[in-house]
Amino acid sequence: MTHWVPELLAPAGSLEKLKVAVLYGADAVYLGGQKFGLRTAADNFTYAELEEGVEFAHERGAQVYVVLNSFLHDSDLEELPEFLSYIEKIKVDAVIVSDLGVVETVAQNCSIDIHLSTQASCLNSQAALLWKEMGVTRIVLGREVSVAEAAKIKEVSGLEVEMFIHGSMCMAYSGNCVISNFTQGRDSNRGGCAHSCRFEYSLDFSNIDSATHEQKNAYFMSSKDLEGIRVLPEFIKGKIDSLKVEGRMKSPHYAGTISKVYSSALKYYREHGHVLSEQMLEWERELRKITHREYTQASLIKPADATSIYSDREHEQGDYTIAGVVLEVVENDFLLVEVRSAFEEGDDLELVPFDRDSVAFKADFLIETDGERTNRSRPGILLKIPYVEGAKQWNLLRSRDSR
């Protein structure tokens, strides 16, 4: 007997991250083109990359959603129909929108499914019903909604619902923060968010208690990162259709690790009907190997409060960093890897397979493509390193940060 589980939706900030996420278990990925999205600093996809990415995902049973979730002016809308025609032609599965004008433009110009972005901050069933009348087929709910509330919205509206399960959190209702606009002249709702909420601010209490004249600095607007792996049974109980991971700007190591951990947990639930597995501790250890802030469940079960504030400026560092990506496997001979972080001959590395535990091995030799042996790698170069049983193209290699 198998049990129903939600879709796992992973971020794809580049074609490489798309391939990594799909191969490590994501059921669907979301990405941006060169325009109309909110992550202008991401690599974003050219037309050729979009076509290759959709083909790659579909061949492996995964879906592709394109973000059009910026708030557009009339001049932007004029360019949108041409882009819609293209992504419909290459069979993109859905678009993610937040602007009413974009919803209407999509509905008039193509038949692609419309998912409402969390940028629209939909928090209740009446709003969901209104969006349904506009042609929306799925609601990506605001992060302020609990799983129980989301289940109710799904029941009342009859729409698919999607919730964030992992990643960075906004301090404000999504789509309503304009701190970057006024502090740095960057439009946070048109792709220019400067992450101003992560900065240190000065709090002046002198007008509140003139006796102390207290003034202190704090990161009081910065949130811890969301982690919902122990909430999986609640998502499933509520029939939440899709579990979304934030992070198109993050690394292939992040895309691969998150996709592998959550897809493994969902697979375990599908087979056993629960996640009461000794693997839970291992899944949580894996989630701490990627760069992250301290984790919180935010508002998934109860409203987030002061305990969800992250009081440091910098990210916590995971124990590991990506050392490289496997480009070619020559069985029983060597792995050809593209180096991402420098490592040395004799270093301990880990291969991260798609569907089994990581494999530790020692880099006993490093050989450059011209045949010359070297004792230290450099980011960006191609190297031959020792063969590891079971290695496949696009597997990640990682190393400890302690060097």
The model's pLDDT over 218-258, given as tens digits with 9 standing for 90+, comes to 888 899 999 999 999 999 999 999 999 999 889 999 999 99
Rounded Cα distance between 262 and 281, Å, is 13
- Among candidate residues 359, 357, 368, the one with its CA nearest the CA of residue 334: 368
CB 144 within 8 A of CB 302: no
Q: What is the pLDDT of residues 343-371, one digit of tens each?
A: 999 999 999 999 999 999 999 999 999 99
Quick one: average pLDDT of 283-288?
Answer: 94
Rounded Cα distance between 305 and 302, Å, is 9
Q: What is the value of pTM for the model shown?
A: 0.92
pLDDT higher than threshold 90 for residue 330: yes
Q: What pLDDT does 181 receive?
A: 85
The whole-chain average pLDDT of the chain stands at 91
Burial class (CB in 10 A: 0-12, 13-18, 19+), 104: middle
What torsion, rounded to 10 degrees, do the Cα atoms 158, 162, 163, 164 define?
Answer: -170
Quick one: average pLDDT of 333-351?
Answer: 95
Q: What pLDDT does 254 receive?
A: 95
Quick one: average pLDDT of 30-55?
Answer: 85
Indicate the length of the chain as a whole number: 403
pLDDT higher than threshold 70 for residue 148: yes
Rounded Cα distance between 241 and 138, Å, is 9
Q: Which percentage of the chain shows pLDDT scores above 90?
A: 75
Quick one: average pLDDT of 93-120?
Answer: 96
pLDDT higher than threshold 70 for residue 215: no
Q: What pLDDT does 208 receive?
A: 63
Rounded Cα distance between 255 and 26, Å, is 9
Quickly state the pLDDT bin for 199 (edges 50, 70, 90).
Answer: confident
Q: What pLDDT does 135 receive?
A: 96
pLDDT higher than threshold 90 for residue 1: no
Q: What pLDDT does 403 receive?
A: 46
- The 10 Å Cβ neighbour count of residue 195 is 13
Quickly state the pLDDT bin for 216 (edges 50, 70, 90).
Answer: confident
Q: What pLDDT does 315 receive?
A: 62
Q: What is the pLDDT of residues 54-99, one digit of tens each?
A: 999 999 999 999 999 888 889 889 999 999 999 999 999 999 999 9
Go through 299-333 and write b for each residue having 16 or more CB atoms within 10 A of its CB, e for each that does not: bbeeebeeebbbeeeeeeebebbbbbbbeebeeee
pLDDT higher than threshold 70 for residue 294: yes
